[in-house]
Structure 1
């Protein structure tokens, strides 16, 4: 059985870096309300700015994580200047996300016990009058336990790339702008309380007695190493020596799922599913990969439908299987199951947004999401 225990995570992992181009930064500058001038500090060197704002931003993110963890929306708001429109939007987004995490935890029958982030600064720019712009990567690790089994903790990680403006206010700094690709963006349609029957079913489960084959082990190790937030020398790195990064072309999720299958040694390339400098459509496209698996004899559908229709069947998923996510009639994302928690709940690993052993439905809770659960025949 593969469990995602807290001990398997290094505390200093960071995600795949995506540095914003100058033109994108300029676009993000548009329509930003200018803050009131404040007393500027003496000019610092680039290295001094990086050091200074690593500490400042780390403190802000540390506090934000604590406020989200404790659902302290009043304190969360104080990290922003809500008189500025884009800052208010950033706060409202984080507030909704905090509500979502609280709702998801209630549905799941779990309690989040810790949220911890590691920051990799990319660039800091002094924009005058106490305003500083910066790009950075943040790896955030969430730890939870089931309320009826508090002695067992499970951790998962999310990697995000951020563009942030901090404005000095007296001795402190507040967030006046923040842009990032949010892994919870398909979850911010808040629902009412889920039926108690759903929660009762989840917490009553036990992890299956499962031992992966040697080929599957290779695939899972590859997934955890090259997911974009792997540990050690693989921090914020994809396997760019062997495979292209399809993010600039629309997304790298299917490319990575195909890599996991191939690198396990269980699946050979063929004329339909192939990578040789670039990938066939069935290799790099989420929808085409999903239907290829079901039509080629390499996989079969366990279930599909809304979360309420598939959540019981999802306990039949095992590491190596795939979850595909459909929106508006099109499969737009795939993730690979690479672990199970202590209830047997499937945990997925994928690219864009980079996820490492994350509960498969976390971030995919809107009513327009259809899940396809695929048994991959290792």
Structure 2
């Protein structure tokens, strides 16, 4: 035992003799090596989304290790979902690009913990409409554990909240290849013909706010940062409802709906339950008269023509309105309608994960119940 203790003390003393600047240079070298690996990793993963070659990212992982293999399969499944969704919507992805912002690298011998933000841009076109392209953005925050094996870094484990992770086999396909027949600019036309009376809700400013503060998603403003005036609930249940409330209620840059009752935000303190929680916000909007539920149902239910909605309930939504995504009876997420693409397909913004002008159903499946909420002017 004394012999072992002596060795430990000797190693410690030798470590103390290593000049600080030498150790610092070694750390810089490791971080530079890891940074290079991360850029190559995300370049290849981004390319996978438009070129769909699943085996292209395998060298960055450790397939024999269960957790690393799971991370690899998640990326491959993500790409498959995206391509399957595109096929069912009658579009094709023409380009994918992105960038990363490394927040922190913590090397520990042959492992390292990394925290970074990924900004992704995806571009698609409708089949037969080669000149009309639409680009949208997605932003994600990643916690990655790296492991060095045989002199090469690999992804050992990864976690992030992915806006487009879903089972490719559960994508609804009802009327999917004729989106122009299902989605129209009916709501936009109605909006243009409304009288010029002063309104309680400013739709134009709401959309501007949603675009400016869409976070890490490509296309967003404010240097891809959230509005610093508000707390970030990303790691405290998600920030989507907080963002939706900001969009419709911020008095300076947003839609300007007056805070009242149980719906409010106290700066530097945080938001009320109705401000930050999904179901609570829905109930407040409906019962306060600030909003009304246009329709509720699965994908097929809200796009099909009915007596009440000849062009489908979804066509009634205007920029600045909300879509709730319900799973197992509870609203899981909120997004804000910000416009339509060239074929009339509804586009949305949100937080957690960050979305900028993303097709409204991307990342959801046939089991999702969509709650369409119109904000009353």
Shared topology, TM-score over 0.5?
yes
Structure 1: runs of 5 or more not aligned = 1-41
Cα distance between partner residues in 2 of 1:188 and 1:45: 43
Match of 1:234 in 2: 222
Provide the secondary structure at the position in 2 that maps to 1:83: coil
Out of 129, 134, 145, the residue aligned to residue 165 of structure 1 is 145
Match of 2:372 in 1: 373
Contact 1:123–1:136, Cα closer than 8 Å, also in 2: yes
Cα distance between partner residues in 1 of 2:53 and 2:278: 38
Go from structure 1 to structure 2 and tell me whether the alpha carbon gap of 1:326 and 1:73 turns closer, same or farther (over 3 Å shift): same
Counterparts of 1:183-194 in structure 2, within 5 Å, are: 183-185=163-165, 187-188=166-167, 190-191=169-170, 194=173
Contact 1:109–1:147, Cα closer than 8 Å, also in 2: yes
Counterparts of 1:198-237 in structure 2, within 5 Å, are: 198-202=176-180, 207=185, 215-229=202-216, 234-237=222-225
Counterparts of 1:175-190 in structure 2, within 5 Å, are: 175-185=155-165, 187-188=166-167, 190=169
Counterparts of 1:50-199 in structure 2, within 5 Å, are: 50-129=31-110, 131-168=111-148, 172-185=152-165, 187-188=166-167, 190-191=169-170, 194-195=173-174, 197-199=175-177
Structure 2: runs of 5 or more not aligned = 1-22, 304-311
Deviations for 1:72-101, whole angstroms, at most 9, x for unmatched residues?
122233332201111111111112111111
**Which structure has more RCO (C-alpha within 8 Å, separation ≥ 6)?**
1
Match of 2:347 in 1: 347
Cα distance between partner residues in 2 of 1:221 and 1:293: 21
Contact 1:203–1:343, Cα closer than 8 Å, also in 2: no
Go from structure 1 to structure 2 and tell me whether the alpha carbon gap of 1:193 and 1:266 turns closer, same or farther (over 3 Å shift): closer
Cα distance between partner residues in 2 of 1:128 and 1:261: 49
Go from structure 1 to structure 2 and tell me whether the alpha carbon gap of 1:174 and 1:248 turns closer, same or farther (over 3 Å shift): closer
Cα distance between partner residues in 1 of 2:128 and 2:220: 34
Asked if 1:357 corresponds to 2:335, the answer is no
Cα distance between partner residues in 1 of 2:221 and 2:256: 26
Cα distance between partner residues in 2 of 1:309 and 1:194: 12
The higher radius of gyration belongs to 2
Deviates more, 1:46-55 or 1:206-215: 206-215
Provide the secondary structure at the position in 2 that maps to 1:194: coil
Contact 2:183–2:346, Cα closer than 8 Å, also in 1: no
Go from structure 1 to structure 2 and tell me whether the alpha carbon gap of 1:234 and 1:345 turns closer, same or farther (over 3 Å shift): same
Cα distance between partner residues in 2 of 1:275 and 1:67: 41
Richer in helix (by share): 2
Provide the secondary structure at the position in 2 that maps to 1:94: helix
Cα distance between partner residues in 1 of 2:354 and 2:79: 20
Go from structure 1 to structure 2 and tell me whether the alpha carbon gap of 1:276 and 1:103 turns closer, same or farther (over 3 Å shift): same
Match of 1:250 in 2: 237
Provide the secondary structure at the position in 1 that maps to 2:74: helix
Cα distance between partner residues in 2 of 1:142 and 1:338: 17
Aligned pair count reads 332
Contact 2:85–2:168, Cα closer than 8 Å, also in 1: no
Cα distance between partner residues in 2 of 1:318 and 1:144: 23
